[in-house]
C-alpha cells in the first residue's frame, strides 16, 4: 500500500507592471503540422535538435491504472505588494497571428518556493497528452517561467466535449481573443482561476519538454488526470481557429508520474 502525503504548495501570482512580449517557445525557423510537421522539426533549425534527440520529451501517454495523480497546487492571482487582495481576472491580448494569448502584465508566482512568471496560454486540438492512448478534444497550456533559471512549468488542462454542458465564460473570453483584430488595443479579461483552476482536483506531474520547437526540456508538467468539459458550440468555434496542432506522444523513457524528486 502506498501511503504518501503530498504537500500542497501555494502558487502566488503577483502583478508586476511591465508590458509583456516574451513568449519564448519558439526562436527559430517556421514550423507547422503538415510539410514542416513534427517528424521534420529537428531538420528545420539546429536549435530544434532536442525535438529528435531529447530524452524527456512531451507530450506523453498517461496510464491511468499506474500513474498517480497529486493535488494541483493552489493558484491565487494577487497583485504584487498586496498579497491579501486576490486578482480575479487577467487582462490578455492576442499575440501576433493568434496562436497564443499573453497577460498584459507580468504575473509573478511561486511553485514549491520557486518564483515563476505567468508567460502565456495557448491551445491544441485535439489534446496532445493522452489517457490510456485516447486523445481528448482540446488541451490548454498555461505556461509559467522560472524568473531565475528560465525553466518552464506548464499546467495542462484537457477538455472533452459534452453536449449537456453550457458555454463557459472562460472560453467566451478566449473566442473573443481569437476574433480580436491584431491591432486591437483592447484587453480581454480572462478569469483563469475560478473558471479553470478551481475545477481541477488532481494532476499528473512529470518532467518533460515544450511540445513545440525548440522542444526545450526541464519543463515541469502538471496535467489534469480527468478532462474538464467544453460545450459543442465553443469547441466548434475554437477548432475553426486552431486547426490541427497536436504533436504525437513521445517515449516515456522510464519517466515516473509523479517523478522521483531529487534523483
Ligand atoms: Zn502547448
Lowest mean pLDDT among 104-108, 159-163, 216-220, 253-257: 104-108
pTM: 0.84
* Distance (Å, whole) CA 64 – CA 249: 15
Ligand 1 center to residue 125 CA distance, Å? 10
- In the numeric block, which cell numbers belong to residue 179? 476574433
- In the numeric block, which cell numbers belong to residue 6? 503530498
Distances (CA, A) of 208 to 54, 56, 108, 111, 215: 9, 5, 22, 17, 9
- Which residues are within 8 A (CB) of 219 and not within 5 positions of it... i.e. 6 or more apart? 58, 151, 152, 153, 154, 207, 208, 209, 210
Residue with cell 467566451: 172
User: Quick one: fold of 56-242?
Assistant: Carbonic Anhydrase II (3.10.200)
Interval 155-203: pLDDT, tens: 999 999 999 999 999 999 999 988 887 777 777 888 888 889 889 999 9
Ligand 1 center to residue 261 CA distance, Å? 24
Ligand 1 center to residue 82 CA distance, Å? 31
Amino acid at each position: 500500500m502506498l501511503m504518501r502525503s503530498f504537500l500542497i504548495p501555494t502558487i502566488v501570482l503577483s502583478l508586476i507592471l511591465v508590458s509583456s512580449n516574451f513568449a519564448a517557445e519558439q526562436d527559430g525557423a517556421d514550423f507547422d503540422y503538415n510539410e514542416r510537421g513534427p517528424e521534420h522539426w529537428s531538420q528545420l533549425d539546429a536549435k530544434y535538435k532536442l525535438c529528435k534527440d531529447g530524452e524527456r520529451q512531451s507530450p506523453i501517454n498517461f496510464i491511468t491504472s499506474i500513474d498517480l495523480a497529486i493535488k494541483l497546487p493552489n493558484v491565487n492571482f494577487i497583485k504584487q505588494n498586496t498579497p491579501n487582495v486576490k486578482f480575479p481576472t487577467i487582462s490578455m491580448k492576442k499575440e501576433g497571428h493568434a496562436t497564443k494569448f499573453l497577460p498584459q502584465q507580468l504575473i509573478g508566482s511561486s511553485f514549491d518556493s520557486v518564483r515563476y512568471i505567468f508567460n502565456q496560454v495557448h491551445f491544441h486540438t485535439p489534446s496532445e497528452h493522452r489517457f490510456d492512448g485516447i486523445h481528448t478534444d482540446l488541451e490548454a497550456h498555461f505556461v509559467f517561467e522560472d524568473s531565475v533559471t528560465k525553466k518552464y512549468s506548464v499546467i495542462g488542462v484537457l477538455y472533452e466535449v459534452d453536449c449537456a454542458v453550457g458555454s463557459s465564460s472562460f472560453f467566451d473570453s478566449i473566442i473573443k481573443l481569437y476574433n480580436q483584430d491584431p491591432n486591437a488595443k483592447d484587453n480581454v479579461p480572462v478569469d483563469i482561476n475560478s473558471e479553470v483552476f478551481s475545477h481541477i482536483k488532481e494532476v499528473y506531474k512529470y518532467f518533460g519538454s515544450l511540445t513545440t520547437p525548440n522542444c526545450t526540456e526541464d519543463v515541469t508538467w502538471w496535467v489534469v488526470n480527468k478532462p474538464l468539459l467544453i460545450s459543442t458550440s465553443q469547441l466548434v468555434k475554437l477548432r475553426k481557429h486552431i486547426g490541427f496542432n497536436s504533436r504525437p506522444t513521445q517515449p516515456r523513457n522510464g519517466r515516473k508520474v509523479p517523478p522521483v524528486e531529487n534523483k
